[in-house]
Chains A and B, each alone.
Chain A
Amino acid sequence: NAGVTQTPKFRVLKTGQSMTLLCAQDMNHEYMYWYRQDPGMGLRLIHYSVGEGTTAKGEVPDGYNVSRLKKQNFLLGLESAAPSQTSVYFCASSYMGTGGSTEAFFGQGTRLTVV
């Protein structure tokens, strides 16, 4: 039982390059989330999805796009990477929204450096 798997684990990009981060969950969860973690800032929500084919903006969506073509996958794209996007990115999933008793399960993170 893998849970939430993020690919890749590490990546270095040059400014202006593009890339896609992949998140896959095998728990049949409806909700999926992308967060970024920066020192002293905690985790901030970038985008989230409440089901296949639906996405919504979170707290810090600028510079990112997402897609949820399959229920188990949630992709985070950077079209033109900037140094300000250097961060650790976490994907999470939950059966329902995180209100009530629903727990969010997190992946191991992707450490992205933009030079």
Chain B
Amino acid sequence: AQSVTQLGSHVSVSEGALVLLRCNYSSSVPPYLFWYVQYPNQGLQLLLKYTTGATLVKGINGFEAEFKKSETSFHLTKPSAHMSDAAEYFCAVSVLNSGYSTLTFGKGTMLLVSP
């Protein structure tokens, strides 16, 4: 079965500091991987996705993630945090479910940004 593990339920950074949110997956086949962001009292919004091809994926708002097959990781980074980045971030993997693909989410990481 495919699954996702996000390390750290909360991550705190100062404004301007590097953001690193960790995600490891387990999959017996090449995975499709996603990062979603959830701002307070809102739904989820896609940040970026990896399907095939280039392993460094760029997303919205300056975020990027690198697919590392050897480490089964898909960590999310941003060089310089902004106050507006404070939100909950979810890593997800697309899994086959009775012949159809659905998303399985990690438990989420809350990003706190201090001035």
Interface set of A (CB-CB < 8 Å, partner B): 4, 31, 33, 35, 40-45, 48, 50, 56, 58-59, 90, 92, 97-104, 106-109
Contacts and interface: CB of A to CB of B under 8 A. Distances in A.
Interface of B: 9, 32, 34, 36, 41-46, 49, 51, 90, 94, 96-98, 100-108
B45 A45 contact: no
- Interface of B, secondary structure class, is strand
A42 B89 CA distance: 10
Nearest to A35: B105
Given A42-B90, A43-B90, A97 B100 contact: yes
A31 B94 CA distance: 14
Contacts of B103: 33, 43, 45, 92, 98, 104
A101 B102 contact: no
Contact of A33 (B42, B43, B102): B102
Contacts of B42: 108-109
A50 B100 contact: yes
Contact of B108 (A31, A42, A106): A42
Contacts of A108: 41-43
A56 B98 contact: yes
Given A40-B107, A108-B43, A100 B97 contact: no
Given A4-B43, A106-B45, A100 B32 contact: yes
16 contacts: A42-B90, A42-B108, A43-B103, A44-B105, A45-B102, A56-B100, A90-B43, A90-B44, A92-B44, A97-B100, A99-B32, A99-B101, A100-B32, A102-B101, A106-B43, A106-B45
